[in-house]
Structure 1
């Protein structure tokens, strides 16, 4: 099997873990057309879905959310998300679960909130472009944390090794796969690792309220 090539002719590791057998950077036309919104996946309105009722009165408007079992709420949230973004192969609850894992690992490794925020942006961009699936999601999450740490922090070699050890332990993948996937994610992001403040700041604000 031949390696796929980027536009510059640099070989990209074949992604044998993708269910479709296609490289991560192949993407989705529907996803590529989306403009990244850092508030989209953390929008508190997602869990409300069909259980939210808006009451409009003469002088004010209020929202009433009926009680729903957590399992039903989760199911409805995922269905609503899938209807709006059919090209995304992961459920919204799984996406949020992976982000929690990224945050928890970053806390263990004493990474700054700005680093986690950058990792979130990388990860969400790939999610919303439809480039992730159940086979590559953990490798992508790990690679996004690793890239963000290298860009935003002045890590020593020993600290990079420690971070890779933690990533390997938490996400249960082989470090060789992680290192190979790191370059694939870099290509998928079109080398755009330096992010505008408008994309990072919303995540940073939410994280600093949680740390």
Structure 2
């Protein structure tokens, strides 16, 4: 059963999600609603021509920073100094770049104009963060996401040159700020770096402990 949200901004129990993770439909992208969603393991994912869809997958693809696997070739890239890393310097530019990247299993961008505005507002309030990767003065990669306790809920990443997005993720893991990186959607290259599937129950338990 898919629930329809109302103005009260309350989400149903994530355990009631459909087999594909779809939990609810409707509502809005207000800061309050988004923060409640992320605090309960729920995130929006929909296309421009759809109503707002809210998901809480039965399994979550995550990366524990302490289990990060960095290949020898990637270590050489990091040691070469070809990239410079900044954080929160051009959040909107990172989101715009990510919007040109389709998520696996979905045609076109899922980062709609409304989503961009909503995450810009989260960033303005200090909840959404970006990591930028530069070659000289050129932005060549990065990622952005939401901080929920000690969990970083990664929303999207992009790379205009080889290894730029990997560099952003490795930098994020090495900050020591997060117990868990939520990658949401499975990819082979993230699995090669140590990401794994855990149950929604384990994910939400970690999330709630770090927020508390």
Larger Rg: 1
More strand by share: 2
Normalising to structure 1: TM-score of the pair? 0.26
Normalising to structure 2: TM-score of the pair? 0.26
More helix by share: 1
